[in-house]
Amino acid sequence: MGDVSSRYLKSYFDTCLSKGCPQGPLIELLGVGPKPFENPARRFDNAVVIEMMHKAEALTNDTTIGLSAGRDFRPSTFLDIGLALISSATLKEALTVNEKYQALTQQLGKTHLSIKSDQALITWRPYIDDPERMRPVTEAVFAGYAVFGRWLTWLYDKEIAGMQCRHKRPAHAAECENLFACKVEFGARLDQMELDVALVNMPLPNANKELLDVLCKRLDRQLTELNMPMTTETETYHCVQAMLSDGTPSIARVAKVLGFSERTLRRRLSADGVSFRAIVESARKEACEVYIRERKKSIAEIAQAVGYSEQSAFTRAFRGWYGASPTEIIGDA
């Protein structure tokens, strides 16, 4: 049936809580203990997402939770994909990037961009062919496209040309039309959003080809890993990556998140032919490469973001990675 990433599901979970849903029934539904999102490498079955949304609607008597979830999506919800979308040259490129890599965040369905004359059509094809069951997720997906599109283009008052949804007209239809700024056809043949072609071809203000190239290489690797059994090395790498901004991750902390003893984690990594230290250094370098090309952080900020409390230690590591000092490559702090 497919699955979703921990970060993606947590976004839905947080929206449910913000709408007044009690936490206990949702935690029980997830079935992985009191801290379900602690392990960033964990993935959850699609059925959990759908069931959680319907349970939250029933417990709050609020059918707009799907729309709210889409409004709450942030670039961080999609990790590298979110940053890649921001770095794309056009909305068309961003949609193409999302289509290629969206299985990394969710496998509930797939979107496809098609161009017909003066219209650009974003079609959503859920893997579960039950429009009423999928309604909260479908509304979240399209609300996310609307919000992201406005962020990416900086056109916050831009109207969407048209919307069609397969599910029946809901009680909150007026709120749907307010969010999309257009009439919504319910009970339609397809789940589809219509945009002006000029809009999808418009240059985006935050385009960064150099950063996008780096991110797509990372995403290509992640896509390959997604179709392979999860190794201890990969799971450890994801944990380290998520912990870097809080300082140097300890093997004891990572082992606890993964449910191992420190000794067991060392033994498993050794069996994979890698050390914990090597994983930390690899994660630091990869994160550093993104920050360099993003061009938004000072040297000191990059050092902190990749887990170095002392800039001198970061400088030594940087020289080992690139054969030059941070100032020579990044510029002045």
Measuring CA to CA, which residue among 235, 258, 219, 211 is closest to residue 38?
258
pLDDT of residue 8: 96
Q: How far apart are CA 233 and CA 177, in angstroms?
A: 47
Mind listing the pLDDT tens digit for each residue in 167-193? 999 999 999 999 999 999 999 999 999
Scan for tokens 């062919």, then name that residue. 129
What is the SS3 assignment for 285?
helix
As beta bridge partners, residue 5 has 43
- Give the fold, CATH level 3, of 229-330: Arc Repressor Mutant, subunit A (1.10.10)
Scan for tokens 């069931």, then name that residue. 51
What is the SS3 assignment for 90?
strand
Reported for 82-86, long-range contacts at CB under 8 A and 24+ positions apart, including other chains, are 83/211, 83/215, 83/290, 83/294, 84/212, 84/215, 84/216, 84/219, 85/148, 85/152, 86/152, 86/206
Tokens for 106?
Answer: 């969710």
What is the SS3 assignment for 105?
coil
What is the SS3 assignment for 154?
coil
pLDDT in tens, the chain (333 residues): 699 999 999 999 999 999 999 999 999 999 988 899 999 999 999 999 999 999 999 999 999 999 999 999 988 889 899 999 999 999 999 999 999 999 999 999 999 999 988 899 999 999 999 999 999 999 999 999 998 888 888 887 777 899 999 999 999 999 999 999 999 999 999 999 999 999 999 999 999 999 999 999 999 999 999 988 989 999 999 999 999 888 889 999 999 999 999 999 999 999 999 999 999 999 999 999 999 999 889 999 999 999 998 889 999 999 999 999 999 888 764
CB 100 within 8 A of CB 92: no
CB neighbourhood size of 280 (10 A): 23
Tokens for 297?
Answer: 């952080």
Domain boundaries, the chain: 3-200, 229-330
Domain 3-200: state its class: alpha beta
Tokens for 162?
Answer: 């048209």
What is the SS3 assignment for 152?
helix
Mind listing the pLDDT tens digit for each residue in 46-94? 999 999 999 999 999 999 999 999 999 988 889 899 999 999 999 999 9
Scan for tokens 């490469």, then name that residue. 289
CB 251 within 8 A of CB 132: no
Q: Please state the φ and ψ torsions of residue 224, each to the nearest 5 degrees.
A: -65, -45
CB 36 within 8 A of CB 49: no
Q: Among positive and negative, which fits the CA dihedral 162, 167, 168, 172?
A: negative
CB neighbourhood size of 60 (10 A): 15
pLDDT of residue 333: 47
Q: What is the pTM of this model?
A: 0.92
